[in-house]
């Protein structure tokens, strides 16, 4: 993408944590698929948010490896370094620097009301200040790049409202400094549910191994998980999320990956059983994941090239972030950063 192209496109910022050895199908259908699409229509900045990954106990070597695997998967899914800016968050030091400024403009009660902090702290005995201020760092991630839009799901709406509040508060106090971002609502595909417990969404933190499908998973394991997926009482294959959440989830996955309308799938499987649907869906998912895994391995096998891509992305991100931070420093009365 040329500078002229990026100048007339709305800017979007999104990030994903490297907290697992593989992204899962819910990550792709719920968010990452839209990342690939948005690089064609937006000035897109995407980051592997490893700073957020240390709010809980972690292994340094594992985090370093997972950050590379995450970047390799994003490239394998279709992110093009010529069409977007892909980088690892910790390589751009302006993130925590702006976060501190924003923390000093965030009320204690305001931060404490974040529902994700309440949920995570209830599950984790080791509650850190970093977990508490996580949404403020997230705000810095977004505001550094003057993002016009941020892709959000329902679980992130509250955090984006905080981002907007902080941007407006800073602008009102010190003068126009930050773009106030709008939510980018990803249409069509909604939440992909847990295969074993379809009443809740597919998630690394909530789902057991049988409930998620990793994009780097072996085809045989994918087939086994789909075959074992929870369905519902009765045999009719219809889309009814309220009364038949299990089969509705399978139809959603099938429809999205195969680009076949759900109504057409219902007609195709009329008079057939769940086993027929699962057998065909297993092949669709396995065929989708196999080339992603192969391309990911290819990027990881050439770490020098992967490092080169990430360094170029970090340098581009740094150039934008440094301008924003310098402006914020001037507004607040600091000397300019070196």
Catalytic one of 118, 120, 278, 308: 120
**Residue 45 to residue 35: CA distance in whole angstroms:** 9
DSSP 280-316: HHHHHHHHHHHHHHHHHHHHHH-HHHHHHHHHHHHHH
Q: What architecture (CATH level 2) is domain 11-189+302-332?
A: 3-Layer(aba) Sandwich (3.40)
Average pLDDT of each block of 10 consecutive residues along the chain (338 residues)? 65 96 93 94 98 92 98 98 98 98 94 70 72 92 98 78 96 98 75 90 80 96 96 89 94 95 96 95 98 98 98 98 98 93
Catalytic one of 187, 201, 244, 279: 201
Three-state DSSP class for 14?
Answer: strand
Residue 154 among known ligand-binding residues = yes
Q: Where are the domains of the chain?
A: 11-189+302-332, 219-297
Q: Among this protein's residues, is 279 annotated catalytic?
A: no
Residue 118 among known ligand-binding residues = no
**Residue 214 to residue 221: CA distance in whole angstroms:** 10
The helix, strand and coil proportions of the chain, stated in percent and rounded to the nearest 5, come to: 60, 10, 35
**Residue 255 to residue 262: CA distance in whole angstroms:** 6
Question: Buried b vs exposed e over 159-187: b needs ≥16 C-beta within 10 Å?
Answer: bbebbbbbbeebeeebeebbbbbebbebe
The pLDDT of residue 111: 84
Three-state DSSP class for 184?
Answer: strand
Q: Among this protein's residues, is 308 annotated catalytic?
A: no
The pLDDT of residue 235: 85
User: Residue 85 is inside which H or E element, if any?
Assistant: strand 84-88
Residue 192 among known ligand-binding residues = yes
Fold of 219-297: Tyrosyl-Transfer RNA Synthetase (1.10.240)
Residue with tokens 């929870």: 230
Residue 253 among known ligand-binding residues = no
Residue 219 among known ligand-binding residues = no
The pLDDT of residue 295: 98
Residue 141 among known ligand-binding residues = yes
16 within 8 A of 70, measured Cβ to Cβ: yes
Catalytic one of 118, 123, 187, 204: 204
Residue 27 among known ligand-binding residues = yes
Q: Among this protein's residues, is 204 annotated catalytic?
A: yes
The total number of residues shown for the chain amounts to 338
**Residue 11 to residue 190: CA distance in whole angstroms:** 23
246 within 8 A of 232, measured Cβ to Cβ: yes
End-to-end CA distance of the chain: 29
Q: Angle 219-227/274-301 helices, nearest 10 degrees?
A: 150
Residue 181 among known ligand-binding residues = no
């Amino acid at each position: 993408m040329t500078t002229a192209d990026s100048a007339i496109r709305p800017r979007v910022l999104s990030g994903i944590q490297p907290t697992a050895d593989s992204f899962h199908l819910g990550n792709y259908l719920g968010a990452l698929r839209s990342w690939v699409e948005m690089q064609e229509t937006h000035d897109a900045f995407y980051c592997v948010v490893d700073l957020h990954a240390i709010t809980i106990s972690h292994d340094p070597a594992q985090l370093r490896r997972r950050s590379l695997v995450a970047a390799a998967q994003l490239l394998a899914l279709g992110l093009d370094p010529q069409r977007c800016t892909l980088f690892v968050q910790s390589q751009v030091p302006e993130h925590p620097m702006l976060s501190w400024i924003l923390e000093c403009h965030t009320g204690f009660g305001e931060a404490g009301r974040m529902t994700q902090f309440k949920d995570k702290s209830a599950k984790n005995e080791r509650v850190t200040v970093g977990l508490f201020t996580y949404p403020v760092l997230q705000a810095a991630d977004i505001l550094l790049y003057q993002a016009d839009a941020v892709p959000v799901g329902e679980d992130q709406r509250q955090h984006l409202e905080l981002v907007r509040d902080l941007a407006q508060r800073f602008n009102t106090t010190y003068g126009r400094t930050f773009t106030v971002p709008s939510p980018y609502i990803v249409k069509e595909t909604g939440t992909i549910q847990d295969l074993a417990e379809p009443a809740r969404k597919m998630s690394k933190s909530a789902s057991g191994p049988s409930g998620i499908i990793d994009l780097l998973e072996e085809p045989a394991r994918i087939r086994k998980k789909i075959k074992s997926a929870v369905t519902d009482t009765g045999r009719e294959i219809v889309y009814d999320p309220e009364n038949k959440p299990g089969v509705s989830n399978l139809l959603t996955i099938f429809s999205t990956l195969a680009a076949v309308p759900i109504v057409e799938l219902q007609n195709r499987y009329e008079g057939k059983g769940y086993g027929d649907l699962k057998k065909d869906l297993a092949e669709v998912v396995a065929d989708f994941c196999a080339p992603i895994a192969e391309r990911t391995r290819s990027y990881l096998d050439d770490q020098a090239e992967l490092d080169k891509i990430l360094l170029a992305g970090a340098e581009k991100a740094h150039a934008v972030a440094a301008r924003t931070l310098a402006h914020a420093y001037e507004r607040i009365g600091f000397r300019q950063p070196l």
